């Protein structure tokens, strides 16, 4: 579904660059929880952060790698982020609003408070919104963000998410497995329980996607949905 809650047709999926091979990986890993009867703990929450967009781009679709009206593509490693919004028992949360925002490949946010000297990328959207379908699925195409200085720390690469379901909202961050800065990141290390739920593996994207692009499969679990 799009951000207005309208059903996304196959033609629109193709227009958005979502191939059937990637759609297939949307089959939720979280469904196993419901089948096994073993509930999963809610996704840990984190701080909103200082760089939530003040002025959101006019274009807010799920493809952050291109900006309408420009011919270029965002610089950096293309990643596909596919997942579902679920309840602890693996039930899909239909119609959940999922926002994603992030730094560009050089670690710069398009935000007036970001004092990082790295340049902005005019071909990078930096923010997107999706509304989950009947199976709770969402999907973004973006680039892997770079680390960046913040006060006395260096933040490890991460994506920001704000998921709003029927009754719950969860602000959280997604981190990448194997990043050297993960062990020093003050946000990640401040999560007291289930910290591993915020870390995902980067996998090769399915055949049919851009050569060299990668895939992240990651579900957001809300306390009640």
- Residue 158 catalytic? yes
Active site residue 160: yes
Question: What's the confidence (pLDDT) of residue 39?
Answer: 85
* Among 221, 225, 222, 219, CA closest to 82: 219
Catalytic residue among 108, 160, 170, 197: 160
Kindly state whether residue 4 falls inside one of the protein's structural domains: no
Annotated catalytic residue 127: no
Rounded Cα–Cα distance for residues 69 and 167 (Å): 37
User: Is position 200 within any domain?
Assistant: yes
Q: Which residues contact 72 (CB under 8 A, 6 or more apart)?
A: 66, 122, 123
| Of 66, 80, 139, 155, catalytic | 155
- The verdict on residue 2 lying in a domain is no
**Domain of 154: which CATH number?**
2.60.130.10
Q: Does 52 reside within a domain?
A: no
Evaluate whether residue 80 is within a structural domain.
Answer: yes
10 has catalytic annotation: no
For residue 53, is it within any domain?
Answer: no
Question: For residue 130, what are the contacts with CB-CB under 8 A and spacing of at least 6?
Answer: 1, 2, 3, 62, 97, 98, 100, 138, 139, 140
Out of 111, 148, 170, 197, pick the active-site residue.
Answer: 148
Task: Provide the residue-wise pLDDT of the chain in tens; the chain has 225 residues.
Answer: 443 333 334 434 434 443 333 344 434 333 333 334 578 999 999 999 999 999 888 888 999 999 999 999 999 999 999 999 999 999 999 999 999 999 999 999 999 999 999 999 999 999 999 999 999 999 999 999 999 999 999 999 999 999 999 999 999 999 999 999 999 999 999 999 999 999 999 999 988 888 899 999 999 999 999
Predicted pLDDT at 37 = 55
Q: Is 109 a catalytic residue?
A: yes
Residue 91 lies inside a defined structural domain of this protein: yes
Q: What angle do CA 172, 177, 181 make, to 5 degrees?
A: 85
Question: Which residue of the set 80, 97, 109, 139 is catalytic?
Answer: 109
The catalytic residue among 80, 97, 139, 158 is 158
63 lies in a domain? no
The token pair that represents 158 in the structure block: 């991460």
* Number of domains making up the chain: 1
Domain that holds residue 145: 10-47+68-221
């Amino acid at each position: 579904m799009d951000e207005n809650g309208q059903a996304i047709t196959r033609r629109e999926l193709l227009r958005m660059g979502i191939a059937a091979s990637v759609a297939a990986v949307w089959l939720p890993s979280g469904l196993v929880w419901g089948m096994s009867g073993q509930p999963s703990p809610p996704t840990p929450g984190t701080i909103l952060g200082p760089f939530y967009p003040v002025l959101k781009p006019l274009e807010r679709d799920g493809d952050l790698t291109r900006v309408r009206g420009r011919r270029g593509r965002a610089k950096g490693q293309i990643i596909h982020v596919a997942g579902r919004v679920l309840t602890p028992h693996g039930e899909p949360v239909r119609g959940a609003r999922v926002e994603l925002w992030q730094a560009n490949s050089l670690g710069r946010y398009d935000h007036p408070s970001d004092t990082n000297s790295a340049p902005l990328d005019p071909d990078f959207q930096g923010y997107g919104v999706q509304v989950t379908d009947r199976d709770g699925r969402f999907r973004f195409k973006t680039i892997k963000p770079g680390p960046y200085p913040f006060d006395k720390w260096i933040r490890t690469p991460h994506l920001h998410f704000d998921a709003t379901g029927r009754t719950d909202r969860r602000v959280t961050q997604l981190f990448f497995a194997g990043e050297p800065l993960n062990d020093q990141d003050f946000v990640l290390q401040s999560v007291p329980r289930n910290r591993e739920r915020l870390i995902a593996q980067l996998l090769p994207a399915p055949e049919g996607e851009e050569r060299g692009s990668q895939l992240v499969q990651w579900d957001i679990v809300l306390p009640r949905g």
